[in-house]
Structures are given as structure tokens and as C-alpha cells.
Structure 1
Amino acid sequence: MTDTDTVTALIPDIDEVLTLLHLIDDPLVGYLQPASDTDPDAEDWQMPDTLNVQAVDRAWTRILHALPEPLTSPLRDRAGEEPVPGSYQLLTGAGYQRASLYPVAIRRADLAVMTNLLDHLRRALPTARPADHADLIEVLNEIADRRTDLDANGGARRHHFTEADVVEELAVALDLLGATDEDTALLLEAIGTPEPGTTVELRGEAVEAYERWTGRLIDRVARDRADAALIRYTV
């Protein structure tokens, strides 16, 4: 595997999905990093020898930097105003505008680093975890508490996060970034390389693939069935 070996992922312009990607950066990846001179009160965790958390930080940073401007621009929040620079419109069916999908080249080496992290986190969850994963479950507990705090604006629907929830969020993100299923392949072919300011209209099997693909993703990022229905309404 070389540094230039990549997989083309489809990233949707859906707030909940993009928020998930950034939550993996902070708190998950951030909390795993060793203490520094600038933050002397931070925990200095003892990670397994087979887990390089600095490599994880570099890999996830490259993945986030690979996202195109339409998915990272602060102008995304301007409802009803001018299009975000670099964006395009995606239509399905009888001219209905849907959430645009953006092809993104992701380094397989970076996915491998993140998959290694996921494997370690999964091994840390059971009570009979390896001895060198003791600190890893502790940091997962802190991340879960932080995710619960960040979800405070959910009001009555606030979610209490567990360590398993944190691990599942990473699994969802990596499944999205490394997807090679038939629907992903069909959509990549139908969308091609969309030019900024243009309109792409999906037809026939591509429309069905879009519905299946977004439906599965929304079910995984939504907190419950009501939340999934609300996301679908906005997409």
C-alpha cells in the first residue's frame, strides 16, 4: 500500500454526518493524545504498544482536510442565500433537490490507521479486556461523558452516551469512508466529478440507489426513529 493509494468515498451534505466526522476529531482523537507541556493537567494515558495515537491524529487530520470546500465552508449555514462556493445541485425524481453527494479521495493507509484504532476500542469494551487496554476504556468513559455534555442542547431528547456509543460512531464513519458496495459504485458513476455551479440529475436505478444509500446512513447516524424521520425530511 502506497501513500497515493486511495479509495473514493461519497460524503453527503448532511449536517448530522458532517458533525459526526468532526466529533471523532474532538473529543475522540483529541482525548487519546498524550499530555503536553501546554496542558500539564491532561491525563497521560498508557496506550497499547500496537496503537500509535499520534499516527491516528495525523491520519484523521488528513481525512478531514480531504473534504471539499462545500462541506467545510462556514457559508453552509446561510439558508436561502447564494450557493456555497464549489457546490452543485443534486436532483432526483421529478426535479426534487436533494442533499448533494461529494466524491472524496481518502488514503487507504489513513483508513487502515483508523481501522486499527477501531479494533483496539472494540477490544477495550468487554470486561475481559487485554491488560494493556485498561487506560483505553478509561479514556472512552471520559469521551462518553463529554459526548453526553455536548448533547445537552438536545433538551428532553438528550442522549446519555456510553463507551459503546463512542465506538459505534467511529464504526459508522469508517463504513462511510471505506464503502465499496454496489449502491456507492452506482452513485459514484452517476455523479462523476460534479462541476461547481452545475446541476446533476439522478435517474432510474441511481435514484433508487440514492434512497437506499442515504436511508441506511441516516438510520445509523440518527438517535432514534423520530430523529431519522426528521433528517430524511431535510434531505
Structure 2
Amino acid sequence: MSDTSTAGDTVLALLPDIPEVLAVLDTVDDPLIAWLQPVADLGPDEEDWQLPDTLDVALVTAAWDRILGLRPEPLTRRDDEREGVPDAYTLETAATGYQRASLYPVPVPRADLAVMAGLLEHLRRALARDRPADHSDLAQILRDAADRLTEKRGYPAPRHRYEAEDLVADLETALEMLDPGQDPDAALLLEAIGTPAEGSTVTLSGAAAQAYDRWTGRLITKAVRNPTEAALTRWAN
């Protein structure tokens, strides 16, 4: 980790005000984590999912709830609710003078990130051809949750059929935002943005402006899988 992205027991995440990218956080929340929850009101002859003993769903749920609770208020509001919202600021690039999607530095507990990284490893093992026997139900949960996401976002005519691998990829993208590690573009952006004052305008220039295009571009490409839609999202932000 670089010094610009860490502080004690927290990691400085960078969340972009780009709905298409932030959607991966919602996907991780529901259906992914929602479908890991124990089934209520089981009949006497019914059995719940048998998950690996090493996967603590309650711990994962609590960690993810804390992470979502750290989102700054502008990222929890619709565009028509943004006026006067605390923490909001404007981001521009000097070369164009255009307003860009604001990036919000957010300190995230390392312990919660470690829990989510553990979930990611369990999901990867579940999708492997040589998955351990105790990961079989977890693989089925991923498939069922992907089907649910297809219905939820595509009704009545799905534009994209989600697969179990897509849910895992969304968790990977979420963790890339929440824990940028030693990504040089993220480090440069965190340093350039600092702690933006409410209502202020931050202008990126030179290397920082180029880092903005690269970093947001990579996230958009991962979060928006349709190449045409991804290109339009990059253009708009």
C-alpha cells in the first residue's frame, strides 16, 4: 500500500460519482449477500444451504453494512436531490474546463475489507472446476442469484443475462474501488483531490487529469460490460 492510500487501520477508498460504476455496490448487497442469508421458516423436512464452515455470513453482512454506511451523502441521493447536500463538491479538468464526475475519498476499515476479500476467495473456489465439496451449495447460490439479477434488471426483456461469474466480477470491481492498493493512478488522484471542501471546485491538471481518465475508464469498462454502453458512460463522465 502507498502512504497516500492508507491511514492506520483504514484504507482510503476512492468512490466515483458514476451510477453505472456504483451499481456494483448494490449488486454485492442484493442479490449477492442477500442470497447468502439463512432461509427463514424452513419446514421440518427442509434443509438450508450448507455453506463452508470458514464462511461467516453474519460477519460478511455486518462488514458490508458498515462499508455501505460510509458512502458520502451525495452518492446516496438521486441527481434531483443533490442541491444543498452536505459533502458535495465539483470536479473539473483544466484542459477541457468541463465538469467531471466527482471522486470521493472514503476511509474504509481494513478489517472489513479483509472480511470481504475472504468472501471473494470463497466465491472463486465455488466457481472452480475442482471446487471443494463444501462449496457446492455456494456455487448454486451464485447461479440462482445471477438469475434473479437478470430478472430484476432486465424485466420484461433481459438485455444481459447475468452469470455467476458476473457477480464475482462485480465484487472484484467493488473491492478495487474500496482498496486501490498501490494503483499509481488512484494514489495520484487521492493526493490531488485531498479532502475537498463542501461546495468547492477541485481542478485536475496534467498527470492527475490523465490519471482520472485512465482510472475511471478502467472501472467503467469492468462495471459496464457492453462496449457501446461503456463508451457512452466514459464520454458522459
Q: Fold match, TM over 0.5? A: yes
Over aligned residues, Cα RMSD in angstroms? 1.9
1:154 and 1:10, CA in 2 relative to 1: closer, same or farther beyond 3 A? farther
| TM-score where L is the length of structure 2 | 0.90
Partner deviation per Cα, 1:18-62 (whole Å, 9 max, x = no partner): 22101211111111011235xx48972111011101100000000
Does structure 2 conserve the Cα–Cα contact (< 8 Å) formed by 1:34 and 1:43?
Answer: no
Identity over the aligned pairs, expressed in percent?
A: 55
1:211 and 1:83, CA in 2 relative to 1: closer, same or farther beyond 3 A? farther
What is the CA-CA distance between 1:85 and the residue it aligns to? 3.4
What is the CA-CA distance between 1:152 and the residue it aligns to? 0.9
What is the CA-CA distance between 1:176 and the residue it aligns to? 1.5
1:165 and 1:154, CA in 2 relative to 1: closer, same or farther beyond 3 A? farther
Does structure 2 conserve the Cα–Cα contact (< 8 Å) formed by 1:145 and 1:161?
Answer: yes
Matched, 1:18 2:22: yes
Query: Which amino acid in 1 is paired with 2:29?
Result: D
What does residue 111 of structure 1 align with?
A: 113
Report matched runs for 1:36-115 at 5 Å.
36-37=40-41, 40=42, 44-73=48-77, 76-78=78-80, 82=83, 84-92=85-93, 93-115=95-117
Query: Which amino acid in 2 is paired with 1:70?
Result: P
Alignment gaps of 5+ in structure 2? 1-7
Report matched runs for 1:119-198 at 5 Å.
119-153=121-155, 155=157, 158-180=159-181, 181-198=183-200
| Equivalent-residue separation in structure 2 for 1:227 and 1:36 (angstroms) | 39
Does structure 2 conserve the Cα–Cα contact (< 8 Å) formed by 1:125 and 1:137?
Answer: yes
Does structure 1 conserve the Cα–Cα contact (< 8 Å) formed by 2:27 and 2:167?
Answer: no
| Equivalent-residue separation in structure 1 for 2:47 and 2:88 (angstroms) | 41
| Equivalent-residue separation in structure 2 for 1:96 and 1:77 (angstroms) | 18
Matched residues, number = 226
Does structure 1 conserve the Cα–Cα contact (< 8 Å) formed by 2:55 and 2:119?
Answer: yes
Query: Which amino acid in 2 is paired with 1:99?
Result: A
Matched, 1:33 2:16: no
Does structure 1 conserve the Cα–Cα contact (< 8 Å) formed by 2:74 and 2:86?
Answer: yes
| Residue among 206, 209, 226 paired with 1:207 | 209
What is the CA-CA distance between 1:225 and the residue it aligns to? 1.0
